[in-house]
Amino acid sequence: MDRRCLSLVLLILCLSGMSLEKCFADLPFTLEDIFIQKKFQAKTLPQFQFINSHQYILQENNTQQKSSELYQYDLHSEEKSKLFDSHILQEKFNLKNALISTFELLKSNVFLVGLNQESINRHSTQVQYYYINQHLHQYVEIAEGQKIMYPTISPNLEKVAYVFENNIYIFHLKTHKTEQVTSDGQVNSIINGASDWVYEEEFGMTKSMFWSDDSQSLAYLKFDESKVKEFSIPFYKNDYPENFTYKYPRAGEDISEVSAWIYVSKKKHFKIKLEATYFPLLKWKDAKTLTLLTLNRLQNDLQVWRYNVFNQQKELWYREEDKRYVDLPTLFTILPDGELAITSERNGYNHLFFINQKNHIQQVTQGDFDVKDVFRIDLDDSLIFFSSHLPTPERTSVLTWDMKSHSLNYISDTTGTSKINMLGEGNFIEKWSRQDIRSKIAVKSVRSNISQILLEDNRTEDSVLMKKNFFWMPIDDYQLRAWEILPPDFDTLKKYPVLFLVYGGPGSQKVVNDWGSNQNTWLNYMAHQGFIIVCVDNRGTGARGADFKKMTYGKLGQYEAEDQLRAIRYMNTKDYVDSTQVFMFGWSYGGYLTLMCMMQDEPLLKGGVSIAPVTDWRYYDAIYTERYMRTPIGNPVGYDKGSPVELAEKFNGNLLLIHGTADDNVHYQNSLELSKSLVKNNKIFQMNSYTNGRHGISGADIQLQLYNTITNFLLNLKE
């Protein structure tokens, strides 16, 4: 049967009500296998915490009794011993549910245990917390069992600071007395010790209070968001919608006024005299000195200050300016000798720097590569343990840098993606995956090749998945890193449709060699449906230095779309590519970039799937948008040229626009405004809304229906 006849059969079956899924019953796996049965999802270990290099604590749940047990495992002896049973909390405090949501080992047989965790935003939660000291048979209910946020134990283990209803409290573990630190906290007005929505989303800050080394002083941030405009999201649960209203500062609008404070006692409680737009990082240097990292509104002037809490004097320690923007450091810590260790792109690539007490700057790591995460600084052995996208950008390897010889040494498997946690005694735990290996978790030593496997997930059914081919794609006078997945039984004499996966946002990567998510398996499913799958990391993405990443500054969407279109033209030169059958799929920034590629003078895409896209940067949050675009008043041309709403007149192709109605990150309004503009320009498109759906439109059943919709849309367009 030729392709035209096959397309006609598929159309008839579709019109008759038969799903396209049934048309391909001979495929080696189904969408239900991916999203419902989760047959291709990598295994992970239950929640566990290492005590030292050879012992760790593992949680086991008893769902019938609604309680949890914590066990200690010894890797050397392979012995297992019970440390704690949360059933005792059920009995002491008359709890119906004592399943542990989170736990922290404070010292031997002393725990902080959280129950009944409740999500607030994407990263923040509130939980019931209990302090357990099994040496003393002490079981303490913090805040009388109310759900609180960010319990922070003082270094001497005598006090717990926490946030409740936007105020800070200190619970004294010896006397069981509670001390109220702030009283002005108010929803959608004043936040103490936590952070506002945009700090949480863009700076990764949730907790904003920290104990001094001597447990005497508590530093915290106060957010005054009273001038920030409110945004309401309707949740459709009953006859009438329930509105969730929160403060969301958009580009160019009022943002929270943030101040830093010190609390020692009710008589010694004061505001730090330091003015700045943003306070993304706070860290105690010692018992008397607090370090504060600040940024101006355009985020192109980063400063680090030393503040003496006794004489209330401040001193500028480090400053970094950039004509574009300064990213937050991936490492910001104080070394034992009092030096500041910080990562910076000031010399073109992200590297580690030491700043001594006299403000002298010393670059530690060097080379044409980016330091990703720094795991350990070993001053005794002069070694830096870090990760980097080496030897090629799609891989993440763990290396050491010898500060004496200035040499690199790989200590992980370099063929995939590694993530590690240092354990002390020269050991580390490595979580590793590759496109053909789901997961491998092992304890390793930096001094030998000895390792102990904790989990290895590599199954025979994975053989049905087609492998990615990584390559450099030549684009004019530069190259872009890319991968492609070819259909089974690929034949260079045939012509195939192409589906581009895009993301492309600042500093991001989609061209990575790891197992990936269920979405990655769905792409493989589409390869089995006859598509060539292609992914390209355009200019503006990460792992290739500051200039490559920051060149999109002030022009979001322009260079990225240009590169994706050039990538399409490159693929169209291949004899096996049907240039009339090119499609694009993207989520969030990828959804935005899909739209930008469909609003160009030259129509190269037959169809696009855009999920949860920004459609005008004026609708997005201030911290993210202004970092890359400045303000709308300061860059009106950049905002207009990067707006699908403004470019709707140029729209061409077949569009499936998808958005969750309760998206608190990229508001549903983005798709509604685009819809209005497309209608105004008489453009035909399809739009699917997911009731109460967040940015990730999660849930197994929802994901199945979502990807069924996307699959059918693409297959119906494919000839």
Residue 47 in contact with residue 68, Cβ under 8 Å? no
Strands 654-660, 607-611: pairing kind? parallel
**pLDDT by residue (tens digit) across 550-593?**
999 999 999 999 999 999 999 999 999 999 999 999 999 999 99
Q: Which residues of the chain have pLDDT under 70?
A: 1-25
Separation between Cα atoms, residue 339 and residue 355, nearest integer Å: 6
pTM of the model: 0.93
Q: What is the pLDDT of residue 288?
A: 95
Burial of residue 186, with CB atoms counted within 10 A of its CB: 0-12 exposed, 13-18 middle, 19 or more buried: middle
4 three-state secondary structure = helix
Terminal CA-to-CA distance of the chain, rounded, Å? 13
Pair 302, 340: CB distance under 8 Å: no
**CA 385-386-388 angle, 5° bins:** 150
Please tell me the predicted confidence (pLDDT) of residue 136: 87
- Which two three-digit tokens encode residue 108? 């031997």
Q: Which helix (H) or strand (E) holds 679?
A: helix 669-680
- What's the mean per-residue pLDDT of the chain? 93
Structure tokens at 25: 């019953």
What is the predicted pLDDT for the residue at 108? 87
Q: Interior CA angle at 47 toward 46 and 49, to 5°?
A: 125
The contacts of residue 463 (CB under 8 Å, 6+ apart) are none
Give the start-end residues of each E strand in 625-680.
Answer: 654-660
Question: CA–CA separation, 217 vs 265, rounded Å?
Answer: 8
Dig out the tokens for 598 from the structure.
């469909």
C-alpha Rg value of the chain to the nearest Å: 27
Alpha-carbon gap, residue 292 to 260, rounded angstroms: 9
Closest CA to 504 of 613, 344, 391: 613
pLDDT at 25: 53
pLDDT in tens, 244-283: 999 999 999 999 999 999 999 999 999 999 999 999 999 9
pLDDT at 563: 98
How distant is the alpha carbon of residue 23 from its chain centre? Answer: 37
- Exposed, middle or buried: residue 209 (CB in 10 Å: 0-12, 13-18, 19+)? buried
